[in-house]
């Protein structure tokens, strides 16, 4: 297939699909209709290049997650809308991928703007450089560089965007983002992730939006931990500051769970990840549980989503989100509850039910987030729930929440 009009039709059809579900600012829609994603994915059938899915460009020999991939186009569009690039902006992108996102950024900042994209993997850098040259974006700067260090030689930047998952905002980025500049990154905390849009206000990053997302994690950040239970068939994914370990939880799944049910119900296509997000704004026991098919076969109670459901852990006890379809309400056929294990399993399950109820009362609500440099004194932090990371302190609050 080499008919340019056919490529245009495929691309426009994809953009039409994206904007039907999420309207976009006109400049971003134009950029998506202009940049050819297929030329950043050579060898892939054009029909596949213009489907709304991620494409792996480099496998990871050491794990299930790819080392690099072309992100889902609708997620790309969503993050560009969060970033809101303007003509003349100076942008740093961390995670070069295929070069496609950098090409979109180049369209958005225009001839007066500058785009620098960095990646730690030389093969990914080469792929991005060749694709950008092939598509007419030779002026985009592509660097083989550790993204955790940014690119200080070309700072300051008016906008920065990460297309890899971050557990923390690296200390090196603070001085590279201009005051008043904007940062968009897929940030992980308490086992879940959101694409967070932030503006630098002096020594504080202030959020004005969060969107559900999932990205390959950046190389070099090790703040997340995995605790294996039941011979590795159940895994808890948690932050380094959370006292979760296999010793106290070794027997937690050995007895039947206590099940409690909330009044909240969800539709077949309705997301309930907001329960998780809501809980992280007040509860340090929150993490992620992953239950394999082997564990399910051996009798472990199925979480709401086996691979990624919110859980609460305290001492030798555990509770996690469960769902059950009963069709009592055709529009919302599934009810939500909690399964508790261990001596305090019932209490943890009741706490999780309270988180479900709080979410259900305002399902679109998202917490307000501020991020502060590590070492910021407690007395100077705003009101809210603080989570400490290596290079920063994150504060979440629903008192100042924006939806």
Q: Please indicate whether residue 268 is annotated as part of the active site.
A: no
- Spot the catalytic one: 68, 71, 262, 314: 71
Q: How many CB atoms lie within 10 A of CB 25?
A: 14
Q: Across-strand partners of 327?
A: none
Maximal C-alpha separation, the chain: 66
Structure tokens given for 244: 């979760």
Q: Are 194 and 212 in contact (CB under 8 A)?
A: yes
Q: Going edge to edge, which strands form the sheet with 234-239?
A: 224-229, 234-239, 286-291, 309-314, 317-325, 334-341, 258-266
Q: Point out the residues that are catalytic.
A: 71
């Amino acid at each position: 297939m080499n008919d340019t009009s056919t490529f245009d039709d495929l691309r426009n059809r994809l953009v039409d699909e994206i904007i039907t579900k999420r309207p976009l600012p006109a400049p971003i829609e134009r950029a998506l209709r202009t940049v050819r994603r297929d030329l950043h994915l050579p060898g892939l059938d054009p029909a596949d290049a213009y489907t709304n899915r991620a494409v792996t460009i480099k496998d990871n020999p050491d794990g299930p997650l790819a080392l690099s991939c072309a992100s889902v186009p609708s997620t790309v569009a969503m993050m560009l809308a969060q970033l809101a690039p303007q003509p003349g902006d100076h942008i740093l992108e961390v995670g070069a991928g295929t070069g496609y996102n950098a090409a979109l950024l180049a369209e958005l900042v225009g001839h007066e703007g500058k785009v620098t994209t960095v990646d730690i993997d030389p093969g990914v850098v080469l792929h991005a450089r060749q694709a950008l040259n092939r598509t007419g974006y030779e002026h985009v700067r592509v660097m083989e560089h550790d993204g955790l260090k940014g690119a200080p030689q070309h700072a300051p930047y008016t906008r920065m965007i990460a297309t890899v998952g971050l557990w923390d905002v690296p200390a090196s980025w603070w001085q590279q983002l201009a005051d008043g500049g904007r940062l968009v990154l897929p940030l992980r905390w308490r086992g879940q992730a959101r694409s967070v849009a932030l503006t630098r206000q002096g020594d504080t990053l202030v959020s004005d939006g969060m969107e559900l997302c999932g990205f390959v994690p950046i190389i070099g950040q090790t703040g997340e931990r995995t605790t294996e239970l039941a011979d590795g068939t159940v895994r808890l994914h948690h932050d380094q500051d959370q006292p979760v370990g296999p010793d106290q939880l070794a027997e937690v799944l050995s007895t039947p769970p206590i099940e409690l049910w909330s009044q909240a119900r969800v539709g077949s296509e309705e997301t309930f990840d907001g329960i998780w997000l809501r809980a992280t704004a007040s509860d340090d026991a929150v993490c992620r549980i992953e239950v394999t098919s082997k564990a399910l076969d051996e009798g472990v109670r199925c979480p709401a989503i086996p691979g990624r459901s919110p859980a609460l852990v305290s001492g030798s006890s555990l509770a996690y989100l469960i769902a059950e379809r009963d069709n009592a309400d055709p529009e919302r056929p599934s009810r939500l509850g909690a399964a508790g294990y261990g001596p305090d399993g019932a209490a943890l399950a009741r706490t999780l039910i309270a988180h479900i109820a709080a979410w259900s009362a305002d399902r679109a609500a998202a917490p307000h987030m501020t991020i502060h440099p590590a070492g910021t004194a407690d007395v100077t932090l705003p009101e809210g729930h603080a989570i400490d990371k290596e290079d920063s302190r994150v504060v979440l609050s629903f008192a100042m929440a924006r939806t």
